[in-house]
């Protein structure tokens, strides 16, 4: 009986969070509506005018860019562990990659602020400006003074944090490929890479996709790692070398400072948007991973 209540608590928590966030943000929902709040780039506590567009922009850019950096590395790692590494290395490397996920996000933040940001500002960002800054369009991405506190640095940190999620789920998916299928490809004279590319990856694409979507969900809600290096500057900018704000960073920096009801309510509104977004993404990831575990993708 008690145990039944304890497990129902999970459902109560999900519904409770949703309900509380909606009721706390009702003031802002009534004042700004839904579409207007999402599309407004205004974030002005003094004039009490709030919009989520800048936060959504920062969240979208950092998440997208970090996935772009992390996915190839993560899939490479999964391939290395399942197909290339000698047996005695498989376990240790797998554990090492998973330790990356165990490091608390605040440690990533510290490291990002004091170690990575200066390296980005002094070396990597000037180099990027020099090599890519001259091209039309692409050059716009690297305009401005490299400070290290910007979208690019935040995305790099995020990408390191999500590598383990994509890697470990892709690895599990790769391991589901039956040996017979691989062996028959080898028997046809395929090279190892051809087996990976034409047999293993197509066989496990659903699992890989699930891993990527899970990483997306994790990246959306990551707070501390980006809070240190993003600058919480509410703006939409073309350059990756500018400070910006994500939904999570805004919440972390401004929640305790909100001095008016509408300000606090708008922050709850942001939290609500974040909760709904990540819940949908995570549910999709769960669905894909379950489907991948059940059988090969056809």
Partner 1 sequence: MTWEHTRTRKLKNYAALTLCSFAAFVGLFWLVFILWDVFVHGIGGLHISLFINDPAPPGIEGGGLRNAFVGQLIITFFATLIGVPIGILGATFLAEYARGKKIARLISMLSDIMVSVPSIVVGAFVYAIIVKPFGHFSGWAGAVALAIIMIPVVLRTTEDMLSLVPWTLREAAFALGAPYYKVIIQVVYRGAATGIITGILLSISRVVGETAPLLFTSFSNSFFSVNMNEPVSSLTVTIFQYAMGPYDSWHSQAWAASLMITLFVLVLTILGRLILKWKENKG
Residues in 221-280 at the binding interface with partner 1, rule: CB under 8 A: 221-224, 227-228, 248, 251-252, 255-256, 267-268, 271, 274-275, 278-279
With binding defined as CB under 8 A, does residue 186 bind partner 1?
Answer: no
With binding defined as CB under 8 A, does residue 121 bind partner 1?
Answer: no
Residues in 27-66 at the binding interface with partner 1, rule: CB under 8 A: none
Return the residue of 128, 163, 240, 245 that touches partner 1, per CB under 8 A. Answer: 163
| Contacts of 183 by beta carbon, 8 Å cutoff, 6+ apart | none
User: Is residue 211 within 8 Å of 169, Cβ to Cβ?
Assistant: yes
* Rounded CA separation 276/267 (Å): 14
What is the DSSP annotation of 120-181?
A: IIIIIHHHHHHHHTTSTTGGGGG-S---S-SHHHHHHHHHHHHHHHHHHHHHHHHHTS-HHH
Q: Considering the complex, what minimum distance in angstroms separates the CB of residue 193 from partner 1?
A: 4
Q: Considering the complex, what minimum distance in angstroms separates the CB of residue 175 from partner 1?
A: 16
Return the residue of 81, 152, 200, 292 that touches partner 1, per CB under 8 A. Answer: 81
Q: Which residues of 200-233 are buried (b: 16+ CB within 10 A; e: fewer)?
A: bbebbebbbbbbbbbbbbbbbbbbbbbbbbbbbb
Which of 64, 216, 71 is closest to 154 using CA atoms?
64
Q: Considering the complex, what minimum distance in angstroms separates the CB of residue 157 from partner 1?
A: 10
Residue 2: which H helix or E strand, with range?
helix 2-32
Q: Considering the complex, what minimum distance in angstroms separates the CB of residue 174 from partner 1?
A: 11
| Contacts of 137 by beta carbon, 8 Å cutoff, 6+ apart | none
Choose between 13 and 127: whose C-beta lies nearer to partner 1. 13
Return the residue of 60, 68, 99, 138 that touches partner 1, per CB under 8 A. Answer: 99
* Rounded CA separation 47/259 (Å): 13
With binding defined as CB under 8 A, does residue 115 bind partner 1?
Answer: yes
Return the residue of 86, 87, 88, 102 that touches partner 1, per CB under 8 A. Answer: 102
Choose between 2 and 180: whose C-beta lies nearer to partner 1. 2
Choose between 42 and 83: whose C-beta lies nearer to partner 1. 83
Choose between 77 and 292: whose C-beta lies nearer to partner 1. 77
Return the residue of 52, 67, 79, 185 that touches partner 1, per CB under 8 A. Answer: 79
Return the residue of 27, 38, 53, 73 that touches partner 1, per CB under 8 A. Answer: 73
User: Is residue 84 within 8 Å of 174, Cβ to Cβ?
Assistant: no
């Amino acid at each position: 009986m008690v145990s039944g209540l304890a497990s129902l608590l999970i459902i109560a928590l999900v519904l409770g969070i949703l309900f509380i966030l909606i009721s706390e943000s009702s003031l802002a929902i009534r004042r700004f509506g839904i579409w207007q709040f999402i599309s407004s780039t205004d974030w002005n506590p003094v004039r009490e005018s709030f919009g989520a567009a800048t936060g959504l922009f920062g969240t979208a850019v950092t998440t997208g860019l970090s996935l772009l950096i992390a996915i190839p590395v993560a899939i490479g790692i999964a391939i290395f562990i399942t197909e290339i590494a000698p047996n005695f290395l498989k376990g240790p490397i797998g554990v090492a990659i998973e330790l990356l996920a165990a490091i608390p996000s605040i440690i990533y933040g510290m490291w990002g602020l004091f170690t990575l940001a200066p390296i980005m500002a002094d070396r990597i960002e000037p180099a990027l400006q020099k090599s890519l800054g001259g091209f039309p369009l692409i050059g716009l991405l690297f305009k401005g003074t490299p400070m290290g506190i910007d979208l690019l640095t935040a995305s790099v940190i995020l990408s390191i944090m999500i590598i383990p999620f994509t890697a470990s789920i892709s690895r599990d998916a790769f391991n589901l490929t039956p040996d017979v299928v691989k062996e028959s490809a080898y028997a046809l004279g395929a090279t190892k890479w051809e087996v990976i590319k034409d047999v293993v990856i197509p066989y496990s694409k659903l699992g890989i996709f699930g891993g990527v979507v899970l990483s997306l969900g994790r990246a959306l809600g990551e707070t501390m790692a980006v809070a240190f290096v993003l600058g919480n500057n509410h703006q939409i900018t073309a350059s990756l070398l500018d400070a910006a704000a994500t939904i999570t960073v805004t919440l972390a920096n401004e929640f305790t400072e909100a001095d008016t009801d509408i300000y606090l309510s708008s922050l709850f509104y942001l939290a609500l948007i974040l909760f709904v977004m990540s819940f949908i993404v995570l549910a999709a990831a769960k669905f894909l991973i379950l489907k991948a575990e059940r059988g090969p993708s056809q």
